[in-house]
Structure 1
Amino acid sequence: MASPILKFPFLSHTTSLSKPLAFYPLSLTPKPRKTSRPIHVKQQQQGSIKCHAVTDLTSGNTVPSSIEDQSKGEDNDDHLVLVGPSSEEERRGEREVADYDWTEEWYPLYLTKDVPDDAPLGLTVFDKQVVLYKDGQGELRCFEDRCPHRLAKLSEGQLIDGRLECLYHGWQFEGEGNCVKIPQLPANAKIPQSACVKTYEVRESQGVVWVWMSLKSQPNINKLPWFENFARPGFKDSSAVHELPYDHSILLENLMDPAHIPISHDRTDLSAKRENAQPLRFEVTERTDRGFAGWWGGGDAQTLPNFLRFEAPCVLSNNREFIDGKGVKQYFSGLFLCRPTGQGKSMLIVRFGGTAMPQIANWIPEWFFHQRGCTVFEQDMGFLSSQNEVLMKEKVPTKKLYLNLRSSDTWVAEYRKWMDKTGHGMPYHFGHNTISLPELPAVVEHAPAGLVAGVSASFPAKGGTGTMHAPNLGNRYFRHVIHCKGCSGALKAFNTWKKALSAISLALTALAILVSGRQWKAALLVSTSLCLAGVYACSTLIQMSTTNFIRTHRRF
């Protein structure tokens, strides 16, 4: 997946930021507790063989040294190019611990525009399964995705008069979670008070539905993210949801890694070219319990034009400002709202926009940009999925596995070090110096079986069309199209046009055979050819929405 800088598809000129953009009230964050307890990590036996390499100096670029050098007594120069300790506590092997509870956070559930109007939506936050739906008044409701009767998934149910019905036995629940109907209950019996579901607080903000995961504490509105650029006059954005087959921490690493763009996404758009790969310069300006922020840019740049901010639990933004030819300040933002959806799975809401966009953007359908975004994810998918497997297999902190360069991986190291401070409050984590492995086994979702289940799963809200009902996060259709009303609508239109044009071409061919006039035959055959060209175009567009990108150099 491309990092923030790639995601401005229309930005072809150099821009710069004049000052940091403040998005969150970081001053509300409590101070960390510092302990003198050393970090105990399972040590790997290192081999006695050392490998040495020298950098390619032909480009004339040198590695910037924005982070202070480590100890001078080392017998090699690795400390000059690798990310070192970012604090005296880390240098001494002490652990800095922050108060953190993963449930007392707002998590991005879905884009408001893509929430189904007529069906419940099953979603997950870490290992907690929830169901989101709109009641009879159009108000968003969120329950635990479990019927109190016999634990059936409510997200497999249906909406009747604004109430959520479990399709196993027909129990119905209203917006506050109370059961209001049990078909099997005698007429003179009362519904048990315990026949209710757990409810979660949800809020809609700037086009995104957020959920507060704690059932014990009241929602903290101060933690609800607000993005200044998206509220500016004239700001327009393109937003999409993607479900991905790797951990949210690996996704965030990838999104905050601009160094991979020229290589992994070479020629994906006009800004990504492998010959432009170069050392980068990073300047960390903030470190708190809630995250970190700073500037970054090319190693030879006079100023650092990009401002990146990571905010707990999983919000990443990259921003740029510039003065246009008329002397007006313009703003561009790449916003990445990540949600952990279980071990080895994540969901991302990605949003790109600005206050000044080229006119051509108004003429290109949004589904086209969404499919290009899918291509970018697929270019990185093999790397990130294998990285996820290695982390789970090795069971050691990333410090033992990564070689983080100062000139490319500063944000990655900062993120993993932030997890060292807060990971104790998460279900599991892989930090820079610490880890905590999942205590619960990964949940495996099985595909529907049988004719009825297949037909049920074919409805758009359930994740499929026709026979495409087996969820597969490796497939573009299930990663994005089923979550996007625009792309699913476009896919249906392409299928409809393909069938219609195919029928018309057959009819025209039959007429061409029957008519006797040469001019009529020619006209009908030309019309048939145009219809077949339309069928081919529709087939190509359908393939674009359902087929993954595959690198041409790979062999099968």
Structure 2
Amino acid sequence: MEGVAMALSSSSSSSLLHPLILSRTRPTNQYPFSIPTFPPPAVITNSAANRLRRRSSKCHAVTTSHPPPPAMDQNSDNDEAVLFGDPSIEAGRSEERVAVADYDWTEEWYPLYFARDVPEDAPLGLTVFDKQVVVYRDGAGQFRCYEDRCPHRLAKLSEGQITDGKLECLYHGWQFEGGEGKCVKIPQLPAGSTIPKSACVRSYEIRDSQGILWVWMSSRTPPNAKKLPWFESVAKPGYQEVSTIHELPYDHSILLENLMDPAHIPISHDGTDTSTSRKEAQPLLFEVTERSDRGFAGYWGREAEGLTSFLRFQAPCVLSNVREYTDDTGEKHYATGLFLCRPAGQGKSMVLVQFGTTKGFKLAKWIPKWFIHNLSCKIFEQDMGFLSSQNEVLMKEKVPTKKLYINLRSSDTWVLEYRKWMDKVGHGMPYHLGHSTISLPQVPAVVEQAPAGFLARASASPPAKGGIMEMHAPNLTSRYFRHVVHCKECLGAFRTFNAARNVLSGAAIALVALAILASQRQWKAFLLVSAGLCLAGVHFTSTVIATKTTNFIRDHKR
């Protein structure tokens, strides 16, 4: 795909999922996105692992004490040169400081879904941290977002239905509409009675911006339009993109770590295509150009090539890699990689991925999107095992990452910047794991069903194994539940090929039966050949269906 190749540093098809290697030439401008200018960076240093909850309009310096340093060996000087925050070095500091910012996680815009993938005939249940919301299209085609809980008896509205453009709870038939979640019908009310004001459902501000649905989670503070991300390169004439969506079985902070870590690409994705090879693993260069309470940004590149790409992390969960380049005619173009990483509950995350370029893809219209999405699924599956185990260890240890990670200066700069940013703002989140601080969840993990429809009715309602107080949840290690149920193109392809397989199977059986009954040899041969072609079609459609239900399996021996 020529356009994708231009969006990346090489023609790597595996790069469709990572902000990997986005250019070979340094951009002339830092970032072609319309984002508020950040103030000068606050002091970013380390702190103890206690949770920081103090909040004010300014940053406060917090000091902590440490035990005396252990004896250092002869390699200490070398360790300090290659490592960030080597424990043997940091232990020698009697006091450390951390900048704590005023932060409220609800006063942010969170990416919910691609607008095109929201079902037109059913509500959609989603989660932001531990808050469950429901999204649907009303009678006018407008998107509405409510708390996923009927005010009557707490039934999930995402298990309901859309009736005449109104969202109806299937428990007792209460109906809601409008941007304020007004209750407009209660079938059980006596004639002439007024619907109680308390019967309305809590609503959230939702906006469709550049094809992405964003939700403002605060009910106390009006939506801040200045915080809503706007990507200028995406809005430029001629921009074409490849987008995909995935729900993943690990925390959104681990997802962000993975996506901002170019060093793992040659190893984890070795051989995914001709441009990803273990031989390309090498030291990387990093230059942090911005730090603030809203995130960080800077350049990075391979040691052999210099600083070639520009990366930005923007609160609360937007990661971007952008390059500006000039084609053979002297025309300027932008290649953009966007990664919108929503916290979808404890141990879960959802990422909306978009790669694109203003130069266009010559072959894009001829390649089915469901086929391209197979590669994106494979790339996430290559990382899924160790990222899930990383999530498990972090939850088990319950300590800041500086006690567990060994951060290299030549590979882990963005990871360290991100965890230190979490130190500054994590006290304003439901839970967080920072470099030096940690706060644990205060509520049980959310069990969320698959998108509404037959799948939800078949898999989300029955208890697991018939156990009391147990719930069935989609298996997020399955490609089908991670991606297909959320993607209109892939779900449509799955249904189409499944229907074709059924038709071809029936036709093959009928043709074999007719061949048995046929008296003339030439008819027998014709019918059997036709049956063979139908069986070949069954095999082909089954193979395509398997790409939507079967995970990539790594070969662990070389």
| Normalised TM-score (structure 2) | 0.86
Alignment of 1:262 onto 2:266: yes
What's 1:363 paired with? Answer: 366
Name the counterpart of 2:350.
347
1:274 to 266, 272, 278: 278
Q: In 2, distance between residues paired with 1:159 and 1:460? A: 20
- Where does residue 149 of structure 1 map in the other structure? 152
- For 1:334, the aligned partner's letter is G
Match of 1:131 among 134, 150, 157: 134
**Is 1:477–1:545's contact at 8 Å kept on the other side of the alignment?**
yes
| 2:414 aligns with one of 401, 411, 414 | 411
Q: Please give the per-residue CA displacement for 1:271-307, whole angstroms capped at 9, x wherever unaligned.
A: 2111111111111111111101111111111x42211
SS at match of 2:198: coil
Q: CA separation in 2, counterparts of 1:220 and 1:426?
A: 18
Distance in 1 between residues matched to 2:420 and 2:434, nearest whole Å: 6
Instruction: Supply the distance in 2 between the matched residues of 1:382 and 1:461 (Cα, whole angstroms).
Output: 24
Other-structure match for 1:333: 336
Q: Which moved more, 1:197-206 or 1:469-478?
A: 469-478
Equivalents in 1 of 2:319, 2:275: separation in Å? 21
Q: Structure 1 counterpart of 2:62, which letter? A: R
1:511-526 alignment, distance < 5 Å: 511-526=514-529
Q: Aligned partners of 1:224, 1:271: CA distance in 2, in Å?
A: 35
- Number of the residue aligned with 1:19: 29
User: How far, CA to CA, are the matches of 1:491 and 1:129 in structure 2?
Assistant: 28
Shift of residue 524 of structure 1? 2.2
**Distance (Å, rounded) in 1 between the aligned partners of 2:549 and 2:338:** 25
CA gap of 1:393–1:12, structure 2 versus 1, over 3 A, is closer
Match of 1:62 in 2: none
Is residue 93 of structure 2 the alignment partner of residue 93 of structure 1? no
Find the counterpart in structure 2 of residue 77 from structure 1.
78
Give the stretch that moved more between structures: 185-194 or 401-410.
185-194
Q: Which residue of 2 aligns with 1:499?
A: 502
1:483 aligns with 2:486: yes
2:15 alignment partner in structure 1:
7
Separation in structure 2 between the aligned mates of residue 532 and residue 261 of structure 1, nearest angstrom? 40
**Distance of aligned partners of 1:99 and 1:535 in 2 relative to their CA distance in 1, 3 Å threshold:** same
Q: SS of 1:200's equivalent?
A: strand
Shift in CA distance, 395/461, structure 1 to aligned 2, threshold 3 Å: closer
**Whole-Å Cα distance in 2 between the matches of residues 454 and 135 of structure 1?**
17
Secondary structure (helix, strand or coil) at the match of 1:76 reads helix
* Distance in 2 (alpha carbons) for counterparts of 1:256 and 1:195: 45
Q: Is the 8 A contact 1:107 1:210 kept in 2?
A: yes
Deviation at 1:457, TM superposition (A): 2.7
Q: 1:193 aligns with which of 179, 191, 197?
A: 197
In structure 1, the partner of 2:62 is 37
Percent identical pairs in the alignment equals 63
- Alpha-carbon distance in structure 2 between the residues aligned to 1:346 and 1:438: 15
Q: Tell me the distance in 2 between the aligned counterparts of 1:324 and 1:240.
A: 27
Match of 1:59 in 2: none
Question: How big is each residue's C-alpha offset from its partner over 1:231-255, in whole Å with a ceiling of 9 and x where there is no partner?
Answer: 1111100112110110000000000
Q: 2:294, 2:314 within 8 Å by CA — same for their partners in 1?
A: yes
Separation in 2 of the partners of 1:409 and 1:12? Answer: 18
Give the CA deviation at 1:402: 0.5
Q: Secondary structure at the match of 1:209?
A: strand
- What is the match of residue 222 of structure 2? 218
2:253 is matched with which residue? 249
Q: What's the offset of the Cα at 1:454?
A: 10
Give the whole-Å Cα distance in 2 for the aligned partners of 1:16 and 1:546.
40
TM-fit CA distance, 1:183: 1.1
Q: How many residues align?
A: 516
Return 248-257 or 526-535, whichever deviates more: 526-535
Distance 1:34 1:193 in 2: 41
**Partner AA of 1:7 in structure 2:** S
Greater shift in the superposed pair: 175-184 or 23-32: 23-32
Structure 2, unaligned stretches of length 5 or more? 1-6, 43-57, 463-471
Q: Detail structure 1 runs of 4+ shifted over 4 Å in the superposition.
A: 3-6, 8-16, 28-32, 45-50, 445-448, 453-456, 458-463
Distance 1:13 1:109 in 2: 29
Cα distance, 1:28 vs. partner?
6.2
After TM superposition, the structure 1 stretch with the greater mean CA deviation from structure 2, 238-247 or 27-36, is 27-36
Instruction: Give the CA RMSD over aligned residues.
Output: 3.1
Deviations 1:64-117 (A, max 9, x none): xxxxxxxxxx843111111259xx9x9961111112110000000110000111
Aligned mate of 1:529, from 528, 532, 538 = 532
Gaps of 5+ in 1: 53-73, 464-468
Q: Is 1:116 the equivalent of 2:126?
A: no
1:426 maps to 2:426: no
Task: Write out per-residue CA displacement over residues 306-350 of structure 1, whole angstroms, 9 at most, x where no aligned residue.
Answer: 110000000000112222222222221110001101111111101
Q: Give me the whole-angstrom Cα distance separating, in 2, the residues matched to 1:351 and 1:311.
A: 16
Change (3 A) 1:447 1:9: closer
CA offsets, 1:16-37, max 9 Å, x none?
A: 4223114243336698544332
Find the aligned partners of 1:546 and 1:471 in 2 and give their Cα distance.
13
Aligned counterparts of 1:460 and 1:331: Cα–Cα separation in 2: 43
In the alignment, the residues of structure 2 paired with residue 75 and residue 456 of structure 1 have an alpha-carbon distance, to the nearest angstrom, of: 57
Give the structure 2 partner of residue 71 of structure 1.
Answer: none
Q: Which amino acid aligns with 1:485?
A: K
Please tell me whether the aligned partners of residues 240 and 361 of structure 2 are also in contact (alpha carbons under 8 angstroms).
no
Q: What is residue 445 of structure 2 aligned with on the other side?
A: 442
The 1-side partners of 2:141 and 2:112 are apart by: 17
CA change 1:128–1:328 in 2 (3 A) is same
What aligned pairs does 1:533-552 form with structure 2 within 5 A after superposition?
533-552=536-555
State the shift of 1:13 in Å.
8.6
TM alignment of 1:364-383, pairs within 5 A:
364-383=367-386
Q: Report deviation, 1:444.
A: 3.4
Alpha-carbon distance in structure 2 between the residues aligned to 1:76 and 1:417: 24
Shift in alpha-carbon separation, 1:458–1:124, aligned structure 2, 3 A: same
2:289 equivalent in structure 1: 285
Contact between 1:112 and 1:208, CA under 8 Å: does it hold in 2?
yes
CA distance in 2 between counterparts of 1:496 and 1:214 reads 44
| Structure 1 residues 123 and 352: alpha-carbon distance in aligned structure 2, compared to 1, 3 A threshold | same
**1:480-520, CA deviations, whole angstroms, 9 ceiling, x for partnerless residues?**
10111110000000101101111111122222222233333
Name the SS of the counterpart of 2:84 in structure 1: coil
- Aligned with 1:233 (options 223, 237, 252): 237
Counterpart of 2:114 in structure 1: which amino acid? L
